[in-house]
Chains A and B, each alone.
Chain A
């Protein structure tokens, strides 16, 4: 009788369901996974080392490129670490703007996650639905920062500029006629805040729409219920954070437990799962859509009624106004100093964390008093989740690997850094 051996399967590094570049070496027994060994690092760019060679502000755009589907939240973590060491307090309006854009980013990220997760499992339509709404959110990014993805909008001391009074509009071209232009511009007649407000009115209905497609869908449930169950104790052991931890029934959210910016003034709930399987994590994230929407509504309301500065007036840290530079020597010197040498941080170290859509995104910063970081460590939530790949897939079928990858919400930009 011939000897039966385990079968080793190489998944990736280029595979549409790998969400980027992941090489997964799977030891299989028939179709059952015995051991999974992810090989990461194919997208390693050495962000942390690069940051050591640049003044602090020049690293902000690198943060966008870590988790490239939730750009502003990454910036937020980095900027918070700088502000902690500098000991500065950001103007309240800037805090509200940051919170609002954090939540817009959360929806942006979760839409990407939902679309691709469902696509991996076989529900093609979801992908199209989710990307339709992402378009509006990316337009908000563009209106406020000028870039559709890599915004570099948060700066130490506030945000780069105030919200625009006029939302950019579509123009007639040979591809879109007048009727189409009118339809597209319907929500864009007012300011950015009006556009966001309109979105928050529409969005809950759209989430209902996603849910009618998935929540009670028989195939979706067969593919996700009871797949890769993680107990709360195990989740803590493995260093899980964010929806992965909440899906296992632990009520832990930095926005509530260790509030930063103005989260303690806002009203929202933390959804928590019970079984810790893929389906629960799906439900948690879908509920986060609704909660984020609630937060955005409150921020819009506040921002409408409270104009004010969005950046500190300390020109050792933030650039002076351009019109002042033309006539004021002091401003010119500040501008020159800031954009050549940058600013120095006091010696010391700090760790700042934000509730990123994927979990806890932390930045550990060591400085020796120079104008560049001495050591910058980025704690990416996906890294800890990816490390548990073996734990999550053991004993499951090959087809569940894609489900697990979807439920972890992997993005290699942050895992490989």
Chain B
């Protein structure tokens, strides 16, 4: 299986030379980091060309890298990840595009795969990523009138406001939260030697 995907990675490198930043294999899956300005061109080619034929977009999601590795991240803050699937050729690909700025902006892929519509709305809602060319970019999962983008790393787990019924006003009101986020298990990054061999093996296959 990994041999097949090595080949796929090679043909991606040849076909899209200069249009991508990275193309590597990890745990047998191809990661393809595309330059932001080439996104639409590359994805359209990935869908239409018979060699790739990614006819289905399985998933789209945002990632906020600001606290990655406890602050060792130096690249752009946000990424949008596309999981592509080809029903024709029976293979998968993960495409990533990085973006920065406030608000971060990426081109919408709804013109390539219609199914991206709600996934982009979700990424907008949770991360505040603006998708250029999306015709209906509304919040989707959070409450009507919600403020902020809850999945960003600087958004507290317990939120900023809480809701309760007010007996005097006879309606539901919002107020600042009265609880604090509690950490039961601290987050610890460990260099685990058990995986070291496997990782070097894979790195050499990428070179």
A residues with CB within 8 A of B: 40-41, 44, 46, 48-50, 53-55, 84-87, 236-241, 250, 252, 257-258, 316, 340-342, 344, 346-351, 353, 360, 362, 364, 366, 368-372, 374-375, 377, 379, 383-384, 386-388, 416-417
Contact = CB atoms under 8 A, between A and B. Distances in A.
B83 interface: yes
Q: Which A-B residue pairs are the 4 nearest by beta carbons?
A: A239-B115, A387-B118, A41-B141, A346-B195
Nearest to A42: B143
B68 A374 contact: yes
A85 B199 CA distance: 11
A369 B189 contact: yes
A55 B185 contact: yes
Given A44-B141, A239-B57, A316-B194, A349 B185 contact: no
A258 B90 contact: yes
A185 to B, nearest CB: 43
B63 interface: yes
Contacts of A383: 118-119, 122
A380 B67 CA distance: 26
A379 B139 CA distance: 18
Nearest to A376: B61
Interface in B77-117: 81, 83, 85, 87, 90, 92, 94, 113-117
17 contacts: A41-B140, A41-B143, A50-B157, A239-B115, A340-B185, A341-B185, A346-B195, A346-B198, A350-B26, A350-B29, A364-B81, A368-B69, A369-B189, A370-B187, A370-B190, A372-B187, A375-B64
Nearest to A346: B195
Contact of A368 (B29, B118, B189): B189
Given A44-B141, A416-B141, A341 B26 contact: no
Given A50-B157, A87-B195, A341-B185, A379 B58 contact: yes
A353 B94 CA distance: 13
Interface in B23-60: 26-29, 31, 55-59
A415 to B, nearest CB: 9
B61 A377 contact: yes
B188 A370 contact: yes
B192 A346 contact: yes
A348 B151 contact: no
Contacts of A241: 58
Contacts of A54: 185
Contacts of B150: 46, 49
